[in-house]
Structure formats: C-alpha cells, structure tokens
Amino acid sequence: MNTDTTAQNSEHSSNTLSSASPPSSYYVPLKLDEYETSGFSIKKFLKKAKESCKCDRQSIIHFFIKLFPVLEWLPRYSIKDKLLGDVISGILVGIVAIPQSISYALLASQDPIYGLYTNFFCPIIYFAMATSHHNCVGSFGVLCLMIGESVNRQLRLAGYESDTGADLALNVTLNGTLACDKSCYAITVATTLTFLVGLYQILLAVLQLGFISVYLSEPLLSGFVTGSSLTIITSQMNLLLGVKIPRHDGIGSLVLTWVDIFRYIGKTNICDLVTSLVALAVIVPVKEINNYFKDKMKAPFPIELLVVIAATLLSHFLNFNSRYNSKICGSIPTGFKQPAVPDLTLVSNLALDAIPIAIIGFAMTVSLAEIFGKKHGYPVRANQEMIAIGMGNLIPSFFYCFTTSAALTKTLLKESTGCFTQLSGLISSVVLLLVLLWIAPLFYSLQTSILGVVTVVNLRGGLRKFADIPKMWRISKIDTVIWWVTMLSSSLISTELGLLIGVCFSLLCIIFRTQRPRATLLGKVNDCEIYEDQFTYKRINCVANIKIFRFDTSLYYANKDYFKSSLFQKTGVNPSLVAALQQKAEANITKRGAIKPSTDIPAPAIDMHTLIIDCGAMQFIDSVGLSVLKEMRQDYKKIGVQVLLANCNPSIRHLLQAGGWLTGMEDTELLSFHSIHTAVQFAEKQDQCQQLLQKVTDDNSLSPEPQDALVDSSLEGPL
C-alpha cells in the first residue's frame, strides 16, 4: 500500500514537473536566416554602378535636371500666383543687402566693391542649382570674420605690416607679372581661399560626406556664432570709435584688442563716436519694432538703408572727412573687372584655413534649407545644396568674390515678405547690379563708422543666445557646457581653434554619456506586463528572486568596466567574490562533515536565482561587450544564478548567435527573449520546476530504502 502510494505520488510529481516546464508559447524564437540581410554585395554594387553610368538620352536629361533643379520648377512657374511675391521679397532683400555688402566687405578685410560683387554673383549660381526655395545666400558675418583673419595672416607674411597701403604698394608680384598693392593682394588671397572652399564643398558632396555636419550640434553652432559675434563686435570697435589700433589675430586676439582699445581710447574721433551712437539709437529700436510686429507688417521698414543714405548725405554736405578727419569709404568703382584665375601659389598656405570655413558654410546652408523646406512642405536634397553652395563659391571666385553661405537674417526676411522660389534671389542680384553700374560712387562720403554700426546691429541674434542659457540649463546641462566651451574658446582663443575645440569637446561628451550611462534595476508595475525603474517610480513591485538590470546605452569596450561595476552594485552580488567565499566555506568542512573553527566571513546568501539584462537601450554590442556578457554568464552560473537577455534587437541577436553566446544549447533562443515579461515568466516556471524537484528529492530521502528504489525507478524516465 505504501509502495503504491509512493509510486503514485512520484508519478504525479513527475507529471507536474513535466507540465511545469516552460512552454514555447512564452517566447517566439526569431530566425534571422528567414530574413534577407542588406549587407554589401559586389554584384549589387556593380549593377548599380552600371545603371548610373548609362549615357542614353533619358539618363542625360535626368542628370542635368538633378544638377540644375531650376530646369524642373521654372517651366511650371506660375506667374500669376508667385511672381509678385518673389519680386517684392527680392527687392527688399536687395535693399537690405546693399549696406551689409559694404560693411561685411570691411569685416573680410576687402574693399567695399568686392562685397557688392559677392552678393551679386552668388545668388545667380544658387538660383540655378538649389533645391531650397527660401535660402538667401550672400556674405555671412562669421565667414567674413574667418576670411578676414586668414587674409590678415597672409598680408603679414607678404610684408604688409601697416595700414598705409600706398607706401606699401608694388612689393608683391602676382603670377610673376602683375605688381599688386595691399588691396589687390587681399582680394587675391580671398578669391583663392573661396576657390578652395568651393572645391572642398563640392568634393564633400560628391563623396557623400555631408554627414560631417551632424557633428555640429545646435548648442555647438549657437555657441560658435555667439563667440564669433563677440569677436566681430570687438573688431568693429575701432570703426565705431574712429581709433586706429593694431589688428590682432590668433590666440587671445579679443583680449589684446580690448587692451589696445582702452590704451588708445583717448584718441577717439568724436565725430565717428557721435554718428555711431546716433545710428545705433535709431537702428536698434526700429529693428526691434520690426521684429515685434513682423506678423502684422507686410515688409520690415528698411531702416539700415535709410540711415546709410542719410549718413552719406550728412557726411558729404558737412564735409566730415576734411573737417573732423572722419574715415570714409572713398571711391567705389562702377562696372565689373575682368575675370581672373585665383593665385594657385597660395593654395598651400590656405588649404587648412579653407576647411573650417567650408564646413561652417555648408552646415549653415543645409540646416536653413531643411528648416524652411520642412516648414513649407517641399523636399530638400542636402547633397545638392552642398553642390549649389560649392559652385556658388567656386565660380564667383574667378570674379573677385569671397566666400558666401546662407544667411539667417536675410533668409528670414525673404521668407516673411512672400518669397516662393529662388527667382527672388535673382531679383536681389538685379538690385545690386543697379548699384554696381550707377549708384556705388554715391557712397564715396559714407563713414566707415556707419558700416560698423550696420555690422554690429546684425549680430543681435547671436548675442540674444545669452538669454537662452537658463532654459538650456534646465533642459540639458551637458549641452549648456558645450555652448559655453565653444563660445569662450571661439572668442578668447581664436575662431578656427574655437570650432575645433567645440567639436572635440562635443564628441568627448558623447563618449562620456555612453561610457557612464544610467544603470537601474527594474520592477513590475501593478497588474501590468510593464517594468520600470523601481527607484524612480512609486508602486513598483520587485519580482521575487529575480533581478532585472537595465543599461541605458550600447555595450562596448569603453564602458565594459562601468557595466560590470554598475551590475554588481545594483544587484548587490559580485559573483566572483561570492564564488570565492563559497569555496572557502567548503574548504572549512572536514571530510567527516564537521566544520572547523574559523573566524572567516561566511559565504553570503544570494537572494536571486535569475538575472535578466534588459538590452532594449543597446543599439549594438561589440566583441568586447560580448566577451563581458559571456564572462558574466559563466560567473553567475558558478553561484547558481542564470543570466537571461531581453529586448535584444535583431543585430544583437545575430551577434549573440555568431559569437557563441548560445553554444551548446538545444534551443538557440532559450536565453534571449523578446520582452522582459516573457523572460520573467520563463524564470518563474524554471524556479517552480526546481522547487518541485527539490521537494520530491527531499520526500524520497525520508522514505524507507525499498520505497526509495521504487520512487527512483518511477522518476527516472520523466526527469
């Protein structure tokens, strides 16, 4: 009777164990070989190259339409719906561009006429090749500053140490034939630099390297623009005060310039100072009113042009130049110069200077194009935009133009005044053409202090970024630090080095974020299959004897040590230490089963049987990370803890399979689950099986020997 009962109980227990095995329905194996992978294929590459090299009529037409988008939209241009808006916005932008062209030319260390050339030629090229409907290209303050710094370096190398110009003439020869004064050499340097910038931008587009711009984050660009704005304002102070001070470039130029400003402030030209203050007092409030009522005004009031005209008339009739020694623009020629090839002998000196200018130029152009394309619902091809701005620099460099890019203030003006297409840019060029042919000489008596005011006023946007710092700090402290580092390095060290320092620091911040990410233990939300951070949210229940660990970034060589230390800290179990203590405890047990007296710390009790690693935040795992996971699995296995993975993406599953994570398993998906909940269910079922097995084993050990034999024989098969 007892034997039969024991056998029946054993049979029932074995059936229970069999039914308690984790069914396959708790997790769905993902067979990666059922899906086609998109790896590199030489056959596909050759096929694509063959298709792209077709020279039939249709392919040629398609090529030119892609290269010149104007051929696609101009035939469908609606004169009735769009022409008026394009003409009005083009005229207004052209009017605003007149004083900016002259003032930014001085910032780039060029004569005023070259600023007019630049803003005339570049929009024509961009009109034919751009995919953006609203970008306004032309001289941009930050780029003009960088060009001016490069030009001044080359002027010093060529022997131009002072600003007298006339007595320094004829000491440089271009191409071995043409004698060149300081102004001539300055524009030669600028055109060669612009040629290289355009060439770099086209190469970046052809080689599909536009992704470089993604490393110029918004905080980085914002800090760079603000730092450059401070440098530009500093460089214009000599014009506003009418003080002649040495121009400093390179490291610490901003501090050295301000030291010289205070040193020579006693020599301030009162006429220039008064006109600067009056112009600022007039322009700034009107610009602020324009900005405040921009939604209600059809067009902003052209206060800059009116101030320039009024100042020119006053300077001419009151004779500021001869009476008060106020510096004026002087003679501005009309017409166009004969095209000239950039001086290629300067390429070696300017090759490095052109790199940051090219990157900043195309980054500003592409970002503005994408912003307004998204706003108005039309597609923008970033690669084509790089080609457009590259050609907009390369071709005009033969016509005495310096580097351009999309400018935010003029683009906003263009968009707000009813622009529909790049025909607006063509109209702006027509306005500047009128200035070049007939109006330019009328600016002879214009004070340079007024041009300095125009430059400073247009930097208000960069200075306003200081007001955004508190909000940025609340959103992201790291982004705020990036902003400050870039801004301070751009202003206090140098523009080029500031950009490089900002990029390097930004990359270091990215590495830091992935090297020391957030690591947490998860718990279960009440009556849900959702698991969240148990130290962040209330009413989160810990799963009994199961630890769920989440690592909020990819696992790779740089953060492997932090992964292990975080795991040990959060779970409270260091498997290597526990295993060593267990071995020491076992060594203290004699062969007879008696425990030797010892003062050693006993082996700690482990409150978990399963560790689940949530891989949902891991985009990738490298070979070092895989080795760490395999090491963790082996170490935890020694102390009786199984390691399960959950929420692995397909690429990580493929890595686990290829890297031998599941080697030797009958079911290759057993230790990797598609969700945390299925992994928890699997672990709980396994624990139930182990408990039942332990209970049956304990019951059998208490039964008489003949009955134990029967029980063992009955359990041998199912188990």
pLDDT by residue (tens digit) across 252-265? 888 999 999 999 99
Q: What is the model's pLDDT at position 351?
A: 95
Cα–Cα distance between 653 and 555 in angstroms, integer?
Answer: 14
CB 96 within 8 A of CB 119: no
Distance CA 228, CA 142 (A): 6
pLDDT the model gives residue 709: 44
Q: What is the pLDDT of the chain when averaged over all its residues? A: 83
The answer to whether 138 touches 122, Cβ cutoff 8 Å, is yes
**Domain spans in the chain, listed from the N-terminal domain onward:** 84-510, 518-588+601-698
- Reported as type and span, the H/E element at residue 424 is helix 423-434
> Alpha-carbon distance 389 to 361, whole Å?
8
Q: What is the rounded distance in angstroms from the CA atom of residue 197 to the CA atom of residue 208? A: 16
Which of the four pLDDT bands, split at 50, 70 and 90, describes residue 161? low
DSSP 303-320: HHHHHHHHHHHHHHHHTH
Cite the beta strand spans of 348-447 per DSSP E: 405-406
The CATH superfamily holding the domain 518-588+601-698 is STAS domain (3.30.750.24)
Per-residue pLDDT of 611-667, as tens digits, reads 999 998 899 999 999 999 988 888 888 888 888 999 888 888 888 888 877 655 544
Distances (CA, A) of 526 to 188, 314, 530, 534, 697: 74, 79, 8, 12, 35
Count of CB atoms situated within 10 Å of the CB of 429: 22
What pLDDT was estimated at residue 708?
Answer: 45
Confidence of residue 5 (pLDDT cuts 50, 70, 90): very low
Q: Residue 666's pLDDT is what?
A: 43
What is the residue type of 649?
Answer: N
DSSP 54: -
Quote the pLDDT of residue 717. Answer: 35
Give pLDDT tens digits for 466-506: 999 999 999 999 999 999 999 999 999 888 888 899 999 99
- Amino acid symbol at 36: E
Count Cβ neighbours within 10 Å for each residue of 294-331 and write b for 16 or more, e otherwise: eeeeebbebbbbebbbebbebbbeeebbeebebbbbee
Distances (CA, A) of 654 to 36, 53, 497, 550, 650: 13, 36, 43, 20, 6
How confident is residue 247, by pLDDT bands cut at 50, 70 and 90? Answer: confident
pLDDT at 588: 66
Has residue 122 got a pLDDT over 90? yes
Q: What is the mean pLDDT of residues 689-712?
A: 64
Please tell me the predicted confidence (pLDDT) of residue 528. Answer: 81
